[in-house]
Amino acid sequence: MEVLVTSPWVPREWIRAHGLEPRGAWFAQLDPSGALPEGVCAFAGAMARLHQAQPHAGIVFTTACDQMRRAADATASSGGKHAFLFSLPATWQTSAARKLYHAEVARLGKYLESLGGHTPGEEELMREIRRSEAQRAHRRRILEAGSSSDRGVPLALVGGPLLPSQWSLFDAVEAAGGRVVLNATEPGERSVLPPLPPMAPGQEAVIALADHYFDHAVDVFHRPNTRLYAWLGERLQARGARGILLWAHLACDLWRVEAASLREAFDLPVLVLEAHRVGTGGLRDRQRLGAFIESRR
């Protein structure tokens, strides 16, 4: 059975070890045409409709933002039977937040069993952890190779979910004379965890896995958001980014309000690109993009 996951901070290995198939919701078939009520983020709106297209799949929502909570409520109230709301702690500096995350991973396990999954043994989970580690290592290599070109104005793309239907943004950047040297959207580089450190003797695999996700989630909903800024700062400098493209879904206040702070923290110009729908950006964005890149030459 497929389990659609709407956040990078829900351990895929845990789902697979239960004998179920995790799938990033970014890659699910989304309906780009449905009308959205005013004030609804296009991504959260698309997530709220996922169960209609895939009624037999499990869907894991998170409490990352109010919009996503509402998508989980809307799914439940419109008959979606397999939704689960994972409480992602907004804080990350306290042991209470870590405990909450551990408890949510355990609760997710019970939910997966309710979908027909089985309780994984230690070796089964370790196998899935190793498999994910290998996949992430592969992704890291691709991302590093992707940033080795030296043509075009180097720019960082920072923000929320960037769906396959929106990947033409990369072409638009290139056509305007830029190149993306850091993709800090979802499910881009920001969503790729670093390698799991060696486990302490006697440590349970599920605890090590939960701690790793908890310690390396880099997102805008965290308070304080210093982890996001530290992660970005290191990479913006290393890649020589000359500007930031802030990818913010319309009605996503969480990302939009970062524009001024990003400008100030990194002393770089920021262009806000609004994603109105789950389709691609329009001509207005292209023109603004062209002018922005021209100004950074």
Q: Which residues sit at the interface with ligand SF4, rule CB under 6 A?
A: 41, 43-44, 64-65, 67-68, 160-161, 249, 252, 254-255
| Nearest residue (CB) to ligand SF4, 43 versus 111 | 43
Q: Report, in Å, the least distance between residue 250 CB and ligand SF4.
A: 9
**107, 85 Cβ separation under 8 angstroms:** no
Q: Report, in Å, the least distance between residue 48 CB and ligand SF4.
A: 10
**50, 4 Cβ separation under 8 angstroms:** yes
Output the CA torsion 229→234→238→240 (10° steps).
20
Output the CA torsion 151→155→158→164 (10° steps).
-30
| Nearest residue (CB) to ligand SF4, 70 versus 179 | 70
| Nearest residue (CB) to ligand SF4, 41 versus 218 | 41
- In 3D space, the residue among 167, 192, 166 whose CA is nearest the CA of residue 12 turns out to be 192
| Nearest residue (CB) to ligand SF4, 68 versus 192 | 68
| Nearest residue (CB) to ligand SF4, 238 versus 257 | 257
Q: Report, in Å, the least distance between residue 255 CB and ligand SF4.
A: 6
Q: Report, in Å, the least distance between residue 135 CB and ligand SF4.
A: 23
| Nearest residue (CB) to ligand SF4, 24 versus 290 | 24
**88, 63 Cβ separation under 8 angstroms:** yes
- In 3D space, the residue among 57, 102, 66, 65 whose CA is nearest the CA of residue 84 turns out to be 57
Q: Report, in Å, the least distance between residue 5 CB and ligand SF4.
A: 13
Instruction: Report the half-sphere exposure of 83 (CA within 13 A, side-chain side).
Output: 25
Strands of the sheet with 58-62, listed across from one edge: 21-24, 2-5, 58-62, 83-86
Q: Report, in Å, the least distance between residue 61 CB and ligand SF4.
A: 10
Q: Which tokens belong to 58?
A: 């499990």
